[in-house]
Structure 1
Amino acid sequence: MTTTIDTRRYDLDWLRTLAFGLLILYHIGMYYVADWGWHIKSDVTSTALQDLMILTNPWRMSLIFFISAMALALAQQHSAKFTLLGLRTNRLLVPLLCGMFIVVVPQVYFEALSQQLIEPGYLSFWWQYINPNTALLPEHHSPIGLLTWNHLWFIPYLWCYSAIVLLVAPLLNTLANRLQRVPGSIALLAAMVTLIGAWYFLRQAYPSSHALLDDWYNHAKYFSVFIAGYLFALQANWWQNVISARRWFLTAAVICYSLIIADSNGWFDSIPASFGESVSGRLIVGVVLALNHWGWILALIGYAGRYLNRRTNIIDKDGKLLHYSNTAILPWYMLHQSLIIVFAVWLKALALPVGIEAVLLIVLTCAGCWAGYELVKRFWLSRWLFGLKVKLPILTTATQPLPDNTP
């Protein structure tokens, strides 16, 4: 029998909240970094900010996939797999369609407008955007025209991974039982080897596209992380060992991050290029990247397990913040990037000092997400479109009213 944790894991709730909060800050940072392309760019960019963002760039989305898989593993102990699949389908694919047709449109519009590819006129652009046969911006077409999911790529990936894992759950649960006898260090080594292999063989041939069908490097990376998270959640001894070893994981992560930053700033330029392109050189780089990736993930899992596995704490004394974030997190995620772009365009015209502008952009984005969620949660249709629990409206007749407690 697999050793599991039956009580609610508040540390996973907190980690998910913090990870998505970090994602919002990261996307605001994308507006200001110098070398990375994004939908629109500030006139004032920063290379130093890019170094800071490299801190989370290699593992930020992996952490979210890892947590999502852990939650799925714990949930499938109490719910039928097809019930869970139906739930994830309703709460992922419906918001995805809503996001593609409505939420991400400002991102495409303002990007094209900033490049002078279109004339101003949001509604006329939207009509062309949802038309799969549009002749507008043909060089940006996908098989469905201009429709895109942009930052919502995580949603279809999560749904596909969840569907696959739920369909093969009996095999994974059997594997989890057998892994009871395997030391966590061996499992970590296997996870690192998998990531190194994906980086070595697939990274150059299949650069990140977030297009789902041809994104093989990202699938090798994120799906293996998803499987690892599912199996990890079913091993209470591994979980406890990670909590105990959290300082070691953090130390390894900091060292590897320092090496990555040193390399990006040219500290190793004296090393012959031939060594970097050799098998041994690429393997050394792969080991550093894999250890950095898993070091940060497991350090955060460990520290969260040690300090955040409770409903209330010094940050959230009555548990209301965690309750709010658990329900609001998907609408916030859906709305945040479009709001960043809309507010960035507005603030750019004001020509404010960059420090003031950045603070205002953070405040306005969070305020917009809050207001958007407050609006979304008030109507059953918008709740359904944004992945919230829905209580369908009760239809009544004048001659035969239904009782108030009718489900």
Structure 2
Amino acid sequence: MQRRHDIDALRVIAFSLLILYHSAMVHVADWDFHIKSTYQAEWLQYPMIALNRWRMPLLFMISGIALGLAGIEGRRWRFAGTRSLRLLLPLAFGMLVVVPPQTFFQVVTQYGYTGGFAHFYALYLGHGLCRAGHCLLTPTWNHLWYLAYLLPYTLLLLATVPLLRWLRERLGNAEPTPLSAALLLALPILWLLCVRFWLAPRFPETHALFDDWVVHAESLPLFLLGYVLSTCAGFWRWACRLRWRMLGVALAAIGVELGLRWLGHHPPAGPMPDWASRVPWNTIERIARATYTWTALLALFGWSRALLDRPFRWLPYCSEAVFSWYILHQTLIVALAGWLIPMRLGAGVEATLVVSGTIAGCLLLHEGLIRRTGWLRPLFGLKALPRTAAPRPLPHPVP
């Protein structure tokens, strides 16, 4: 397996941002979440949107890149078995053990449920929970939907390896020509734009796997593209060389999208000029969104290649820890918020305690229990330790 430190580091950073993102979901106004604070702010929507446009596309692309770097072509069906087990075990364990506290706090705060957790858990394992016309289908995977999607995507990739490998060989190691560079810039944006125009108005995002056409249309092609581009050295040199320009385009595009969104919520006083009423603002916003998503991904890959492709001492530890942190973090966020919200400590104190408590909880549970307990490791996506091996200690700063 080829070791790409920049991809490993980018994966750690992308998963770490989920703690901030899901913690902010407690406080962002007008967005649904499992639990909501009494302190909510509309302005949080804007940095959340800027992050949300590329956070999951980045993770799916990184997953495809990791498979391309793993050299699975000669052992793909054996790999299919091991990868299926490594994804299904954490998903099943998460749905049965990790996720239920999230749903418990949700039904307490949103449905007025007054029973204890034991009674709730029996309902959770049954046919679902309904109150006042609102129903939750349980057991559910909540934030673990990424694992549920990654499994069929991986199996599809393994089935199409001959075609994808042919595409990768055609790209080669040379930098893209002017024509191929233009296509590499334009085609993903056009595809994402088609999704926004034709699928998004008709199919809501559900994260329920079988009917989530918008998410599949956005995520699966990027996952497969990550595999194709993984070993194309010319692409990575090209992305690194264009990182400033892609960053500039991405910032301009998200500025347009957020600016139009803000004007939509805060229209100027007085009648709209005739020319403004004829401008297709919704179309411009969708173009800006699609452009931002792809150019932000290119900028992230370029900058990570330039700055992160080195063997940081913290990277091996964090690369192993990131999976268990991902599984744990949202349950800790919801549980901490459910405990803190009734205290009315103030927005800043409450948010700080939720974020810091989640980080501390993930660290303590991973370091003190999960990585040191053989039977727990596969339930959190960690490889089994060799019998003679001991867990690596926490990294220390370089003197």
Does the pair score TM above 0.5? Answer: yes
Name 2:214's counterpart in structure 1. Answer: 217
Name 1:389's counterpart in structure 2. Answer: 383
Name 1:337's counterpart in structure 2. Answer: 330
Decide whether the 8 Å contact of 1:110 with 1:341 is kept in 2: yes
**How far apart are 1:116 and its partner, in Å?**
3.6
Mean Cα displacement is larger for which, 114-123 or 43-52?
114-123
Name 2:40's counterpart in structure 1. Answer: 45
**How far apart are 1:184 and its partner, in Å?**
2.9
Name 1:152's counterpart in structure 2. Answer: 144
**How far apart are 1:252 and its partner, in Å?**
0.5
Name 1:29's counterpart in structure 2. Answer: 24
**How far apart are 1:77 and its partner, in Å?**
5.0
**Runs ≥4 in structure 1, deviation > 6 angstroms?**
none
Whole-Å separation in 2 of the counterparts to 1:351 and 1:370: 26
Name the SS of the counterpart of 2:384 in structure 1.
coil
**1:338-357 correspondence runs (5 A):** 338-357=331-350
Name 2:395's counterpart in structure 1. Answer: none
TM-score between both structures, scaled by the size of structure 1: 0.87
Among 320, 326, 337, the alignment partner of 1:327 is 320
Name 1:397's counterpart in structure 2. Answer: none
Whole-Å separation in 1 of the counterparts to 2:96 and 2:211: 23
Whole-Å separation in 2 of the counterparts to 1:7 and 1:389: 18
- Structure 2: runs of 5 or more not aligned: 390-399
**1:48-87 correspondence runs (5 A):** 48-76=43-71, 80-87=75-82
**How far apart are 1:99 and its partner, in Å?**
0.6
Name 1:187's counterpart in structure 2. Answer: 184
Give the aligned residue type for 1:51.
Y
Decide whether the 8 Å contact of 1:32 with 1:41 is kept in 2: yes
Identity of aligned residues (%): 35
**How far apart are 1:185 and its partner, in Å?**
2.7
**How far apart are 1:382 and its partner, in Å?**
1.1
Decide whether the 8 Å contact of 1:245 with 1:302 is kept in 2: yes
Whole-Å separation in 2 of the counterparts to 1:289 and 1:186: 18
Among 362, 371, 374, the alignment partner of 2:364 is 371
Deviations, residues 98-143 of structure 1 (Å, cap 9, x unaligned): 0111101011111110024422301111122112x4675584254x
Whole-Å separation in 2 of the counterparts to 1:159 and 1:383: 19
The structure-2 alpha-carbon separation of the partners of 1:135 and 1:189, relative to structure 1 and needing over 3 Å to count, comes to closer
Residue 169 (structure 1) aligned with residue 164 (structure 2): no
Whole-Å separation in 2 of the counterparts to 1:173 and 1:124: 52
How many residue pairs are counted as aligned between the two chains?
A: 375
Whole-Å separation in 1 of the counterparts to 2:128 and 2:111: 18
The structure-2 alpha-carbon separation of the partners of 1:120 and 1:293, relative to structure 1 and needing over 3 Å to count, comes to same
Decide whether the 8 Å contact of 2:2 with 2:70 is kept in 1: no
Name the SS of the counterpart of 1:266 in structure 2.
helix
TM-score between both structures, scaled by the size of structure 2: 0.88
**1:3-18 correspondence runs (5 A):** 7-18=2-13
Residue 127 (structure 1) aligned with residue 119 (structure 2): no
**How far apart are 1:23 and its partner, in Å?**
1.1
Decide whether the 8 Å contact of 2:39 with 2:346 is kept in 1: no
Decide whether the 8 Å contact of 1:184 with 1:238 is kept in 2: no
